Amino acid sequence: MTVLSIIRDCLDALLHPSARYDALTRARHRAFMAPRLLGSLAAFAAFPVYLAMRGAPSAIEVAAFAWLIAPILLSWFLSRTGRYEGAHVLSSLALAGLIMAIAATTGGIESFAAIWLVVVPLEAALSASRRVAAFASLLALSCAGILILVSQLGWLPGDTSAAERGVLMAFGVASATLYAAGLAFGAESLARTSVALLSREEDRYRLLARNMSDVISRHQRNGAVQFISPAVESMLGLPVARLLGHGLFDRVHVADRPAYLTALSDAARGDVRSVEFRLRQEKAAPERGQVDFIWVEMRCRPLELDPGRKNLDRQNLDRKFVGEVDVVAVMRDVTDRKLGEQALDQARSAAESADAAKTRFLATMSHELRTPLNAIIGFSEMIAQEQTLMLGAAQRKEYAQLINDSGQHLLSVVNGILDMSKMESGNFEIASEPFAPRASLMHCCNLLALKARENGIDLITDAPQDLPVMTGDPRAFKQIVLNLVANAIKFTERGGQVTVNAAVSGSQLTLRVSDTGVGIAPDDLKRIGAPFFQAGKTYQRRHEGTGLGLSIVKNLVALHLGELTVQSRLGEGTAVTVRLPLVYTPPEAKTPDRKAAENKIATLTPVLRQEQDQLQDQPALVKKSA
């Protein structure tokens, strides 16, 4: 261990606790205490030698050596209180007092000691305090003025010879110069220490700024960026230089700019604000797909308050008197969190929709299942008690027919639910084969013609004779037609009209079923096709049904790679248009399979035409359009 290390450890042990945790403060306290303690100890060690060589000291020499106790006392004061500026003030007073005492007995302003008054403000400059330097300067000027005044009044002794005065003046100038040189080296050492510490702190903060994932920035109240950490380059894919000034503001989403500026403005007035907004990236992140904007959370606070008002009660202070300052902000990428929140909202909406579907299902099924079951149970019990009730053969036949009708209705309800379940799970298979769409259409309309006649509705079919043969699932096609026509008849009042049109448009078959019924409200029209949904309120229902008809049609059309559109006005009727490809090609099938299907259609077309002609010869139950 070197001598300098031992001295430094001893000085560190004397430091006040408040100066031990800051490197610059610790260096300043050491620079104040070290020369004073070492100088005093060296002077005390040389005092016996001086007495042996000089003899009995004069009063001035005794005063000078007595002053050597002052630096020790000043070091003790700083060590006990930690008041660095106060110690410098006391040091200036002690030095000025010694100079005045020596100068008063050695010629006043012409004394060799007077030159030392220049050293007083130089020594005070080491305190790095303007107040201490100003006090020391005024003190030195005051002492010089007093010496000039007493010299002019002739109150000082003047018995010093010219030769002695010259020697003393040379000594005073040399000693003052040496002391000033020591002060200069001390100031340079403190400045070098301050620069080293500042550079070290800058390196530390630069290291933190470069390795933090969060972005640190400094803004003006209008949003202009004065500083932004390099972490923004990985966040936005842009260099820092392009984001300074209003570069960052220009990348904020237009809809989020008011909130962004409001947060910065409030923070400039002294509040702490947090805001979320979107920032445009230079390039989309590969793991997130083509995303142009990312979500950013920014917490901002004022950099500092107005120094003249920082101690005022902010709750009682009118904001117009508070100085607006710069804002420091910390930003982090919260896109993943926002995507999670959106997914959660979608899941919540899906759960709510599922719950609503369950409610509609229970409300619908409670009627659709109980009514036929009650009929089955009631009429079967009556048949079981036919001897007691004295039922005739006609009544038993009628009850059996009612039981059969109720069972068929239950079967159709269950089949609809099962088909819908298969479609939603992706297990419904399309059995594609060639068939004549006009024959299937006419057959379905003939089946429903009786029901239309009983309801007093005109069922009109317009299907050209030359409709081409198409490939697809004939059973699914019939189910589409039956559901659409049955729905149209169900929701059309007596005296109304249901029209079924079929035509070829390009490579598609267009089927249009229109009616003059009650129509659908605009709010309900958006939900048409949802399972178990029926337009209107549940308690206003006047029609039977599970609400699965149009939903099944929608799914069957989608499985055939077709399109379905619904147009309706409340009180004016509804028109449902279905477009199906003439040649259905499964998604995984290749072009040769399509060619094979077309060839098979060409082969079977004559047979299907013959079956269609036979159907036309039968008595038609459907009213044909002119």
Are 356 and 433 in a shared domain? no
**With 70 as the cut, is the pLDDT of residue 159 above it?**
no
Position 168, amino acid: L
Are 544 and 608 in a shared domain? yes
Count of domains for the chain? 4
**H-only helix segments in 212-273:** 231-236, 247-250, 257-268
Are 474 and 570 in a shared domain? yes
* Residue 403 pLDDT grade (very low, low, confident, very high; cuts 50, 70, 90): confident
**With 50 as the cut, is the pLDDT of residue 618 above it?**
no
Distances (CA, A) of 156 to 62, 97, 100, 148, 153: 20, 17, 12, 11, 8
Instruction: Give the CATH number for residue 407.
Output: 1.10.287.130
Are 192 and 115 in a shared domain? yes
Are 484 and 606 in a shared domain? yes
pLDDT of residue 539: 35
Model confidence pLDDT, tens digit, residues 36-52: 787 777 777 777 777 77
Are 89 and 150 in a shared domain? yes
Are 133 and 15 in a shared domain? yes
Which has the closest alpha carbon to 513: 504, 501, 505, 503?
Answer: 501
pLDDT of residue 622: 38
When pLDDT is averaged across residues 210-237 and rounded to a whole number, the result is 84
Asked whether 246 and 238 are in contact (CB, 8 A), the reply is no
Domain contains 440: yes
Asked whether 452 and 477 are in contact (CB, 8 A), the reply is no
**With 50 as the cut, is the pLDDT of residue 244 above it?**
yes
Domain contains 100: yes
Domain that holds residue 405: 341-411
When pLDDT is averaged across residues 170-188 and rounded to a whole number, the result is 79
pLDDT of residue 299: 93
pLDDT of residue 157: 62
* Residue 289 pLDDT grade (very low, low, confident, very high; cuts 50, 70, 90): very low
Are 481 and 599 in a shared domain? yes
In terms of pTM, does the model score above 0.75? no
pLDDT of residue 594: 52
Are 22 and 116 in a shared domain? yes
Are 15 and 115 in a shared domain? yes
Higher-pLDDT residue of 569 and 365 is 569
**With 50 as the cut, is the pLDDT of residue 54 above it?**
yes
Two tokens, residue 211: 């390795």
Please identify, among 411, 438, 471, the residue that sits at the C-terminal boundary of a domain. Answer: 411
Are 590 and 497 in a shared domain? yes
The burial class, CB within 10 Å (0-12 / 13-18 / 19+), for 523 is exposed
Instruction: Give the CATH number for residue 465.
Output: 3.30.565.10
Instruction: Give the CATH number for residue 237.
Output: 3.30.450.20
pLDDT of residue 4: 66
Please identify, among 268, 298, 333, the residue that sits at the C-terminal boundary of a domain. Answer: 333
Domain contains 479: yes
Model confidence pLDDT, tens digit, residues 358-380: 776 666 666 567 767 777 888 78
pLDDT of residue 94: 86
Domain contains 314: no
Give me the count of residues in the chain. Answer: 626
Are 348 and 469 in a shared domain? no
Domain contains 416: no
Which of 20-29, 375-384, 408-417, 492-501 is predicted least confidently?
Answer: 408-417
Domain contains 160: yes
Model confidence pLDDT, tens digit, residues 580-617: 998 887 766 444 455 555 554 555 445 444 544 544 44
